[in-house]
Amino acid sequence: MTNRTAFVTGGSRGIGLACARALADAGARVVLAARDTAKLEAASATIPGSSWVAIDMASHESIKAAFAKAGKVDILVNNAAIAKDGLAVRMKKDDWDAVLAANLTGAFLAVQQVLQAMMKERWGRIINISSVVGESGNPGQANYVASKAGLIGLTKSLAQEMGSRNITVNAITPGFVETDMTAALAQERKDNLLAFIPLKRFGKPEDVAAAVRFLASEEAGYITGHVLAVNGGMYM
């Protein structure tokens, strides 16, 4: 990945930061993007040669400004996401709109920022981080699940549009991964989840990062439109 630039949204922590580190280790120049500039600065300091840009995935103007600052992008990892959970019968429209705007519309707008340069270069990698629940569904997360399922559909459509330009577009569906979010779960909830995971452990951010690194590589050049599950077998 030498001389390639990778742009990772949600890159200041968790899965995004692990992806950025893996891509940097593979030789890419990494640009971290997220909302919290203090966390971005701290994260970037741990990755030699990396840089960072502030981005709000719910704002078209912020997305355009961030990519303009980053310059030409060869590898896009759409990882940033928010959750505003609640049962559908009581879900506020604002909570639906906010999650779809950040998780799905924001990812689409990010893709639009990189396609022209990738088409001109006749090389590109777009990797959308979806979720196991985008395939299986999950009660209390209608908005989040819809956004993650939408990413899968977006991935497949883009893969068909961009294949002739040697741009691959793939999705990864992580299962339950050890992050700040899962750390806050009650032990009983964790035990219940582990019962449905054949590998009997939660994933690590590095498990997802390894899949991202592969899909971004030259070796994955004949893989596009694929949905790669990194979920320990909890959904097959």
What CATH number does residue 129 fall under? 3.40.50.720
Question: What is the number of structural domains in the chain?
Answer: 1
Of residues 7, 52, 144, 176, which has the active-site annotation? 144
Are residues 208 and 18 in contact, defined by beta-carbon separation less than 8 angstroms? yes
Tell me if 235 is assigned to some domain.
no
User: What's the pLDDT at 154?
Assistant: 98
Catalytic residue status for 144: yes
Tell me if 127 is assigned to some domain.
yes
Tell me if 175 is assigned to some domain.
yes
Buried b (16+ CB within 10 A) or exposed e, 181-218: eeeeeeeeeeeeeeeebeeeebbebbbbbebbbbbbbe
**Which domain covers residue 214, as residue numbers?**
5-230
pLDDT tens readout for residues 32-82:
999 999 999 999 999 999 999 999 999 999 999 999 999 999 999 999 999
Tell me if 213 is assigned to some domain.
yes
The torsion angle over the Cα atoms of residues 53, 56, 57 and 59, rounded to 10 degrees, is -120
Residue, of 229 and 183, whose pLDDT is higher:
229
Tell me if 236 is assigned to some domain.
no
Are residues 234 and 24 in contact, defined by beta-carbon separation less than 8 angstroms? no
Are residues 104 and 110 in contact, defined by beta-carbon separation less than 8 angstroms? no
Which pLDDT band holds residue 183 (cuts at 50, 70, 90)? confident
Which pLDDT band holds residue 179 (cuts at 50, 70, 90)? confident
Return mean pLDDT, the chain. Answer: 97
What element of type H or E holds 230?
A: strand 227-230
Amino acid at 19: C
**pTM score, two decimals?**
0.97
